[in-house]
Amino acid sequence: MTRILNFFVIGLLAGLLVFYQYHRNQQLEREIQGLKAAAGLPVSPEGSGSAQSTDQPPALPAAPATLPAREMDIYDSRQNAITRAIANSADAVVGINVVQVREVRNPWLPQDPLGWMLFDERIWPRTFKQRVQNLGSGFIISSDGYIVTNEHVVRDAAEVVVTTTARHKYQAKTVGTDPLLDLALLEIDADNLPCIPLGNSDNVIVGEWVIAIGNPFGLFDVNDQPSVSVGVISAVKRDFASNIGGRIYTNMIQTDAAINRGNSGGPLLNAEGEAVGMNTLIFSESGGSVGVGFAIPSNRITATIDDLLKGGVDRNYWIGIRALDLNATMAKIYGLDSVRGAVVTSVDPGSPAARAGIRMEDVILEIGGRNVESARSAKDILRSTDLRVGDKLTMKIARKKRVFDVTFTLAPLPGGGQSQP
Protein backbone atom coordinates (compact mmCIF):
# COMPACT_ATOMS: atom_id res chain seq x y z
CA MET A 1 0.00 0.00 0.00
CA THR A 2 2.83 2.37 0.83
CA ARG A 3 4.48 1.63 -2.52
CA ILE A 4 1.25 2.49 -4.38
CA LEU A 5 0.97 5.74 -2.48
CA ASN A 6 4.58 6.67 -3.38
CA PHE A 7 3.91 6.05 -7.09
CA PHE A 8 0.79 8.23 -6.90
CA VAL A 9 2.70 11.12 -5.32
CA ILE A 10 5.55 10.87 -7.85
CA GLY A 11 3.09 10.77 -10.77
CA LEU A 12 1.21 13.78 -9.42
CA LEU A 13 4.41 15.80 -9.09
CA ALA A 14 5.51 14.79 -12.61
CA GLY A 15 2.14 15.86 -14.01
CA LEU A 16 2.33 19.21 -12.25
CA LEU A 17 5.83 19.72 -13.66
CA VAL A 18 4.68 18.94 -17.22
CA PHE A 19 1.70 21.30 -16.86
CA TYR A 20 3.93 24.08 -15.54
CA GLN A 21 6.39 23.62 -18.41
CA TYR A 22 3.58 23.70 -20.96
CA HIS A 23 2.13 26.84 -19.42
CA ARG A 24 5.59 28.47 -19.37
CA ASN A 25 6.17 27.64 -23.04
CA GLN A 26 2.87 29.21 -23.99
CA GLN A 27 3.74 32.36 -22.06
CA LEU A 28 7.16 32.61 -23.78
CA GLU A 29 5.51 32.10 -27.17
CA ARG A 30 3.13 34.98 -26.53
CA GLU A 31 6.03 37.24 -25.45
CA ILE A 32 7.99 36.36 -28.62
CA GLN A 33 5.00 37.14 -30.83
CA GLY A 34 4.53 40.46 -29.05
CA LEU A 35 8.17 41.45 -29.60
CA LYS A 36 7.95 40.52 -33.28
CA ALA A 37 4.83 42.57 -33.72
CA ALA A 38 6.50 45.58 -32.07
CA ALA A 39 9.54 45.22 -34.37
CA GLY A 40 7.41 44.92 -37.50
CA LEU A 41 8.45 41.28 -38.14
CA PRO A 42 6.04 38.63 -39.47
CA VAL A 43 3.95 37.02 -36.72
CA SER A 44 2.81 33.38 -36.78
CA PRO A 45 -0.95 32.75 -36.55
CA GLU A 46 -2.44 32.80 -33.08
CA GLY A 47 -2.51 29.37 -31.51
CA SER A 48 -0.10 27.78 -34.01
CA GLY A 49 2.22 26.89 -31.16
CA SER A 50 5.38 27.58 -33.17
CA ALA A 51 7.19 30.81 -34.08
CA GLN A 52 7.87 31.67 -37.71
CA SER A 53 11.52 31.36 -38.68
CA THR A 54 13.46 34.63 -38.57
CA ASP A 55 16.19 33.43 -40.94
CA GLN A 56 14.63 35.38 -43.83
CA PRO A 57 14.61 39.20 -43.67
CA PRO A 58 11.22 40.82 -43.29
CA ALA A 59 9.52 41.95 -46.48
CA LEU A 60 9.64 45.69 -47.15
CA PRO A 61 6.32 47.50 -47.17
CA ALA A 62 4.99 48.06 -50.66
CA ALA A 63 6.08 51.29 -52.30
CA PRO A 64 3.36 53.81 -53.11
CA ALA A 65 2.08 53.16 -56.60
CA THR A 66 2.16 56.89 -57.43
CA LEU A 67 5.96 57.24 -57.29
CA PRO A 68 7.73 57.76 -60.65
CA ALA A 69 10.04 55.02 -61.91
CA ARG A 70 13.29 56.62 -60.72
CA GLU A 71 11.87 57.26 -57.25
CA MET A 72 10.67 53.63 -57.14
CA ASP A 73 14.25 52.63 -57.93
CA ILE A 74 15.51 54.67 -54.95
CA TYR A 75 12.79 53.18 -52.75
CA ASP A 76 13.32 49.52 -53.61
CA SER A 77 17.07 48.93 -53.53
CA ARG A 78 20.29 49.89 -51.79
CA GLN A 79 21.85 50.02 -55.24
CA ASN A 80 19.75 52.92 -56.48
CA ALA A 81 19.99 55.96 -58.71
CA ILE A 82 21.87 57.94 -56.08
CA THR A 83 24.54 55.31 -55.43
CA ARG A 84 25.00 54.77 -59.16
CA ALA A 85 25.31 58.51 -59.79
CA ILE A 86 28.00 58.72 -57.11
CA ALA A 87 29.87 55.69 -58.44
CA ASN A 88 29.84 57.08 -61.99
CA SER A 89 30.90 60.60 -60.99
CA ALA A 90 33.24 60.34 -57.99
CA ASP A 91 36.38 59.77 -60.07
CA ALA A 92 35.75 63.02 -61.96
CA VAL A 93 35.79 65.07 -58.73
CA VAL A 94 39.20 66.48 -57.80
CA GLY A 95 40.79 68.11 -54.80
CA ILE A 96 42.42 71.48 -55.41
CA ASN A 97 45.31 72.77 -53.31
CA VAL A 98 46.36 76.35 -53.90
CA VAL A 99 49.32 78.38 -52.77
CA GLN A 100 48.37 82.05 -52.74
CA VAL A 101 50.63 85.06 -52.32
CA ARG A 102 49.05 87.81 -50.25
CA GLU A 103 50.40 91.15 -49.16
CA VAL A 104 49.87 91.61 -45.43
CA ARG A 105 50.67 94.43 -43.03
CA ASN A 106 53.82 94.13 -40.95
CA PRO A 107 52.51 93.22 -37.46
CA TRP A 108 55.66 94.56 -35.76
CA LEU A 109 54.99 98.15 -36.84
CA PRO A 110 52.56 100.48 -35.05
CA GLN A 111 49.09 100.71 -36.60
CA ASP A 112 49.17 104.50 -36.55
CA PRO A 113 50.73 105.75 -39.83
CA LEU A 114 52.41 108.58 -37.89
CA GLY A 115 54.37 105.94 -35.97
CA TRP A 116 55.78 104.60 -39.25
CA MET A 117 57.96 107.71 -39.49
CA LEU A 118 60.12 106.30 -36.69
CA PHE A 119 61.05 103.24 -38.76
CA ASP A 120 63.12 103.12 -41.92
CA GLU A 121 61.02 101.37 -44.58
CA ARG A 122 64.15 99.79 -46.09
CA ILE A 123 64.70 97.94 -42.81
CA TRP A 124 61.12 97.77 -41.54
CA PRO A 125 58.87 97.35 -44.60
CA ARG A 126 55.25 98.41 -44.18
CA THR A 127 53.96 95.22 -45.78
CA PHE A 128 55.38 91.90 -46.86
CA LYS A 129 54.25 89.03 -49.06
CA GLN A 130 53.04 85.88 -47.39
CA ARG A 131 52.40 82.46 -48.92
CA VAL A 132 49.05 81.08 -47.81
CA GLN A 133 47.61 77.66 -48.58
CA ASN A 134 43.99 77.30 -49.62
CA LEU A 135 41.92 74.30 -50.65
CA GLY A 136 38.78 73.59 -52.57
CA SER A 137 37.09 71.23 -54.97
CA GLY A 138 36.59 70.98 -58.69
CA PHE A 139 35.29 68.58 -61.29
CA ILE A 140 36.46 67.47 -64.70
CA ILE A 141 34.13 68.45 -67.55
CA SER A 142 36.06 67.00 -70.49
CA SER A 143 38.27 63.96 -70.93
CA ASP A 144 41.17 66.12 -72.20
CA GLY A 145 41.71 67.79 -68.83
CA TYR A 146 39.43 70.84 -68.42
CA ILE A 147 38.28 71.44 -64.84
CA VAL A 148 35.85 73.99 -63.40
CA THR A 149 35.92 75.44 -59.89
CA ASN A 150 35.14 78.67 -58.07
CA GLU A 151 37.24 81.74 -58.77
CA HIS A 152 37.63 82.43 -55.06
CA VAL A 153 39.37 79.04 -54.70
CA VAL A 154 42.20 79.98 -57.11
CA ARG A 155 42.28 83.77 -56.71
CA ASP A 156 45.84 85.17 -56.46
CA ALA A 157 47.20 81.64 -56.91
CA ALA A 158 50.95 81.21 -57.34
CA GLU A 159 50.52 77.45 -57.68
CA VAL A 160 47.52 75.18 -58.25
CA VAL A 161 47.81 71.42 -57.67
CA VAL A 162 44.98 69.10 -58.70
CA THR A 163 44.66 65.66 -57.07
CA THR A 164 42.54 62.91 -58.63
CA THR A 165 41.06 59.78 -57.09
CA ALA A 166 43.69 57.79 -59.02
CA ARG A 167 46.31 59.40 -56.69
CA HIS A 168 47.75 61.48 -59.52
CA LYS A 169 48.81 65.07 -58.87
CA TYR A 170 48.94 67.65 -61.65
CA GLN A 171 50.16 71.22 -61.88
CA ALA A 172 47.10 73.03 -63.23
CA LYS A 173 47.08 75.98 -65.61
CA THR A 174 44.43 78.66 -65.17
CA VAL A 175 42.75 79.08 -68.56
CA GLY A 176 40.59 81.94 -67.39
CA THR A 177 38.56 83.33 -64.50
CA ASP A 178 35.42 85.39 -64.09
CA PRO A 179 35.68 87.05 -60.65
CA LEU A 180 32.23 88.63 -60.92
CA LEU A 181 30.49 85.26 -61.43
CA ASP A 182 32.99 83.39 -59.20
CA LEU A 183 33.95 80.84 -61.88
CA ALA A 184 37.32 79.56 -63.04
CA LEU A 185 38.45 77.18 -65.77
CA LEU A 186 41.60 75.11 -65.21
CA GLU A 187 43.48 72.70 -67.45
CA ILE A 188 45.76 69.76 -66.63
CA ASP A 189 48.02 67.81 -68.99
CA ALA A 190 46.16 64.49 -69.11
CA ASP A 191 43.92 62.49 -71.46
CA ASN A 192 41.12 59.92 -71.21
CA LEU A 193 39.93 61.32 -67.91
CA PRO A 194 36.50 60.58 -66.41
CA CYS A 195 34.22 63.59 -66.64
CA ILE A 196 30.85 64.82 -65.41
CA PRO A 197 28.28 66.10 -67.93
CA LEU A 198 26.69 69.47 -67.28
CA GLY A 199 22.90 69.21 -67.02
CA ASN A 200 20.18 71.76 -67.67
CA SER A 201 19.72 73.75 -64.46
CA ASP A 202 16.47 75.23 -65.79
CA ASN A 203 14.88 71.80 -65.41
CA VAL A 204 15.68 71.20 -61.71
CA ILE A 205 12.67 70.54 -59.49
CA VAL A 206 12.27 71.77 -55.94
CA GLY A 207 12.30 68.68 -53.73
CA GLU A 208 14.25 66.38 -56.05
CA TRP A 209 17.29 64.51 -54.75
CA VAL A 210 20.73 66.05 -55.26
CA ILE A 211 24.25 65.03 -54.28
CA ALA A 212 27.09 67.34 -53.19
CA ILE A 213 30.57 65.90 -53.74
CA GLY A 214 33.82 67.60 -52.80
CA ASN A 215 36.82 68.07 -50.55
CA PRO A 216 35.51 69.41 -47.20
CA PHE A 217 38.25 70.36 -44.75
CA GLY A 218 40.89 68.78 -47.03
CA LEU A 219 39.70 65.21 -46.37
CA PHE A 220 40.46 64.36 -50.00
CA ASP A 221 44.14 64.33 -49.08
CA VAL A 222 43.59 61.57 -46.52
CA ASN A 223 42.86 58.84 -49.08
CA ASP A 224 42.18 60.62 -52.40
CA GLN A 225 38.47 60.05 -52.05
CA PRO A 226 35.85 62.81 -52.19
CA SER A 227 33.16 63.17 -49.55
CA VAL A 228 29.49 62.82 -50.39
CA SER A 229 26.38 64.39 -48.88
CA VAL A 230 22.80 63.98 -50.05
CA GLY A 231 19.85 66.34 -49.84
CA VAL A 232 17.17 67.93 -51.94
CA ILE A 233 16.69 71.09 -53.96
CA SER A 234 15.34 73.49 -51.35
CA ALA A 235 14.64 76.43 -53.69
CA VAL A 236 15.64 77.85 -57.05
CA LYS A 237 16.25 81.31 -58.50
CA ARG A 238 17.66 82.73 -55.29
CA ASP A 239 18.91 86.26 -56.00
CA PHE A 240 21.03 88.14 -53.50
CA ALA A 241 20.25 91.84 -53.50
CA SER A 242 23.86 92.97 -53.10
CA ASN A 243 27.13 91.57 -54.27
CA ILE A 244 29.13 89.41 -51.86
CA GLY A 245 32.87 89.95 -51.81
CA GLY A 246 32.81 91.78 -55.14
CA ARG A 247 30.86 88.95 -56.79
CA ILE A 248 27.24 88.58 -57.81
CA TYR A 249 25.15 85.53 -57.06
CA THR A 250 21.83 85.44 -58.88
CA ASN A 251 19.51 82.60 -59.93
CA MET A 252 21.26 80.39 -57.36
CA ILE A 253 20.12 76.87 -56.48
CA GLN A 254 19.51 76.30 -52.76
CA THR A 255 20.08 72.85 -51.24
CA ASP A 256 20.13 71.25 -47.80
CA ALA A 257 22.91 68.84 -48.80
CA ALA A 258 25.82 69.51 -46.43
CA ILE A 259 28.36 71.98 -47.86
CA ASN A 260 31.38 72.90 -45.75
CA ARG A 261 34.71 74.66 -46.14
CA GLY A 262 36.54 72.99 -49.00
CA ASN A 263 33.36 71.97 -50.85
CA SER A 264 33.53 75.15 -52.94
CA GLY A 265 33.88 74.28 -56.62
CA GLY A 266 32.51 70.75 -56.32
CA PRO A 267 29.52 69.54 -58.33
CA LEU A 268 25.90 69.38 -57.25
CA LEU A 269 24.57 66.28 -59.03
CA ASN A 270 21.05 65.16 -59.82
CA ALA A 271 19.96 61.51 -59.74
CA GLU A 272 21.03 61.17 -63.39
CA GLY A 273 24.64 61.93 -62.46
CA GLU A 274 24.59 65.32 -64.21
CA ALA A 275 26.04 68.44 -62.61
CA VAL A 276 23.17 70.90 -62.24
CA GLY A 277 25.25 73.32 -60.19
CA MET A 278 28.56 74.14 -58.52
CA ASN A 279 28.61 74.31 -54.71
CA THR A 280 29.72 77.83 -53.83
CA LEU A 281 28.56 79.33 -50.53
CA ILE A 282 26.59 78.68 -47.36
CA PHE A 283 24.67 80.69 -44.81
CA SER A 284 25.95 79.83 -41.35
CA GLU A 285 26.62 81.54 -38.04
CA SER A 286 29.09 78.83 -36.97
CA GLY A 287 31.00 78.48 -40.24
CA GLY A 288 29.77 74.90 -40.73
CA SER A 289 26.83 73.52 -42.64
CA VAL A 290 23.38 74.20 -41.24
CA GLY A 291 21.53 72.96 -44.31
CA VAL A 292 21.41 76.26 -46.22
CA GLY A 293 23.83 76.02 -49.13
CA PHE A 294 23.86 77.55 -52.60
CA ALA A 295 25.14 76.41 -55.99
CA ILE A 296 25.82 78.30 -59.20
CA PRO A 297 23.44 76.91 -61.86
CA SER A 298 25.01 74.75 -64.54
CA ASN A 299 23.63 76.79 -67.43
CA ARG A 300 25.64 79.79 -66.22
CA ILE A 301 28.72 77.57 -65.94
CA THR A 302 28.27 76.39 -69.54
CA ALA A 303 27.95 79.95 -70.85
CA THR A 304 30.95 81.16 -68.84
CA ILE A 305 33.14 78.28 -70.04
CA ASP A 306 32.47 79.33 -73.63
CA ASP A 307 33.45 82.91 -72.75
CA LEU A 308 36.66 81.84 -70.97
CA LEU A 309 37.71 79.59 -73.86
CA LYS A 310 37.30 82.58 -76.17
CA GLY A 311 39.63 84.70 -74.04
CA GLY A 312 37.42 85.89 -71.21
CA VAL A 313 34.58 88.29 -70.59
CA ASP A 314 34.93 91.98 -71.50
CA ARG A 315 33.18 93.99 -68.81
CA ASN A 316 35.01 97.23 -69.55
CA TYR A 317 31.83 98.70 -70.99
CA TRP A 318 31.02 102.35 -71.57
CA ILE A 319 27.73 104.10 -70.83
CA GLY A 320 28.91 107.69 -70.82
CA ILE A 321 26.85 109.43 -68.13
CA ARG A 322 27.39 110.87 -64.65
CA ALA A 323 24.65 111.50 -62.12
CA LEU A 324 23.82 112.93 -58.69
CA ASP A 325 21.10 112.18 -56.14
CA LEU A 326 17.62 113.56 -56.77
CA ASN A 327 16.49 116.07 -54.12
CA ALA A 328 13.03 117.24 -53.12
CA THR A 329 13.21 120.47 -55.15
CA MET A 330 14.17 118.64 -58.33
CA ALA A 331 11.46 116.04 -57.76
CA LYS A 332 8.87 118.80 -57.50
CA ILE A 333 10.15 120.53 -60.64
CA TYR A 334 10.05 117.26 -62.60
CA GLY A 335 6.59 116.40 -61.30
CA LEU A 336 7.72 113.22 -59.54
CA ASP A 337 5.74 111.77 -56.67
CA SER A 338 8.75 110.60 -54.65
CA VAL A 339 12.32 111.69 -54.04
CA ARG A 340 14.04 108.74 -55.62
CA GLY A 341 16.26 108.48 -58.65
CA ALA A 342 19.50 109.84 -60.06
CA VAL A 343 19.75 113.10 -62.03
CA VAL A 344 22.01 113.01 -65.10
CA THR A 345 24.58 115.81 -64.78
CA SER A 346 26.65 115.13 -67.90
CA VAL A 347 26.60 112.96 -71.02
CA ASP A 348 29.78 112.10 -72.96
CA PRO A 349 29.54 113.00 -76.67
CA GLY A 350 29.32 109.92 -78.88
CA SER A 351 28.66 107.61 -75.91
CA PRO A 352 25.98 104.89 -75.95
CA ALA A 353 23.85 107.07 -73.64
CA ALA A 354 24.19 110.08 -75.97
CA ARG A 355 23.30 108.01 -79.04
CA ALA A 356 20.23 106.70 -77.21
CA GLY A 357 19.04 110.25 -76.59
CA ILE A 358 19.70 110.61 -72.86
CA ARG A 359 20.13 114.26 -71.89
CA MET A 360 21.33 116.31 -68.95
CA GLU A 361 18.69 116.73 -66.20
CA ASP A 362 17.02 113.43 -67.12
CA VAL A 363 16.11 111.43 -64.03
CA ILE A 364 17.03 107.72 -64.03
CA LEU A 365 14.24 105.80 -62.26
CA GLU A 366 15.14 102.21 -63.16
CA ILE A 367 18.10 100.28 -64.58
CA GLY A 368 17.39 96.87 -66.02
CA GLY A 369 14.03 96.76 -64.24
CA ARG A 370 15.53 97.53 -60.81
CA ASN A 371 14.53 100.69 -58.93
CA VAL A 372 17.13 103.44 -58.61
CA GLU A 373 16.95 105.18 -55.24
CA SER A 374 20.04 107.39 -55.62
CA ALA A 375 23.22 107.84 -57.64
CA ARG A 376 24.95 105.34 -55.36
CA SER A 377 22.08 102.91 -55.92
CA ALA A 378 22.57 103.21 -59.68
CA LYS A 379 26.26 102.32 -59.32
CA ASP A 380 25.42 99.35 -57.10
CA ILE A 381 22.92 98.04 -59.64
CA LEU A 382 25.48 98.22 -62.42
CA ARG A 383 28.14 96.53 -60.27
CA SER A 384 25.80 93.73 -59.25
CA THR A 385 24.56 92.93 -62.75
CA ASP A 386 26.30 90.62 -65.20
CA LEU A 387 26.85 93.23 -67.89
CA ARG A 388 29.43 93.02 -70.65
CA VAL A 389 30.36 94.80 -73.86
CA GLY A 390 27.67 94.22 -76.48
CA ASP A 391 24.81 93.72 -74.00
CA LYS A 392 21.66 95.82 -74.28
CA LEU A 393 20.67 97.87 -71.23
CA THR A 394 17.30 99.48 -70.60
CA MET A 395 16.77 102.50 -68.36
CA LYS A 396 13.50 104.11 -67.31
CA ILE A 397 13.84 107.91 -67.67
CA ALA A 398 11.73 110.80 -66.38
CA ARG A 399 11.88 114.00 -68.43
CA LYS A 400 9.56 117.00 -68.04
CA LYS A 401 6.78 115.05 -66.36
CA ARG A 402 7.05 112.28 -68.97
CA VAL A 403 8.35 108.76 -68.23
CA PHE A 404 9.74 106.49 -70.96
CA ASP A 405 12.25 103.66 -71.55
CA VAL A 406 15.59 104.04 -73.29
CA THR A 407 17.55 101.03 -74.57
CA PHE A 408 21.15 101.15 -75.76
CA THR A 409 24.06 98.80 -76.42
CA LEU A 410 27.09 98.85 -74.12
CA ALA A 411 30.18 99.86 -76.05
CA PRO A 412 33.86 99.15 -75.28
CA LEU A 413 35.47 101.68 -72.95
CA PRO A 414 37.50 104.18 -75.01
CA GLY A 415 41.21 103.60 -74.66
CA GLY A 416 40.74 100.11 -73.16
CA GLY A 417 40.61 101.46 -69.59
CA GLN A 418 38.69 100.05 -66.64
CA SER A 419 35.02 100.93 -66.43
CA GLN A 420 33.90 102.89 -63.38
CA PRO A 421 30.10 102.67 -63.23
Backbone φ, ψ for residue 83 (5° rounding): -65, -35
DSSP bridge pairs for 255:
233, 293
Catalytic machinery residues: 152, 182, 264
How many C-beta atoms surround the C-beta of residue 47 within 10 A?
Answer: 7
SS (H, E, C) the chain: CHHHHHHHHHHHHHHHHHHHHHHHHHHHHHHHHHHHHHHCCCCCCCCCCCCCCCCCCCCCCCCCCCCCHHHHHHHHCCCCHHHHHHHHHHHHEEEEEEEEEEEEECCCCCCCHHHHHHCCCCCCCCEEEEEEEEEEEEEECCCCCEEEECHHHHCCEEEEEEECCCCCEEECEEEEEECCCCEEEEECCCCCCCCCCECCHHHCCCCCEEEEEECHHHCHHHHCCCEEEEEEEEEEEECCCCCECCECCCCEEEECCCCCCCCCCCEEEECCCCEEEEEEEECCCCCCCCCCEEEEEHHHHHHHHHHHHCCCCCCCEECCEEEEECCHHHHHHCCCCCCCCEEEEEECCCCHHHHCCCCCCCEEEEECCEECCCHHHHHHHHHCCCCCCCCEEEEEEEECCEEEEEEEECEECHHHCCCCC
Cβ atoms 153, 279 nearer than 8 A: no
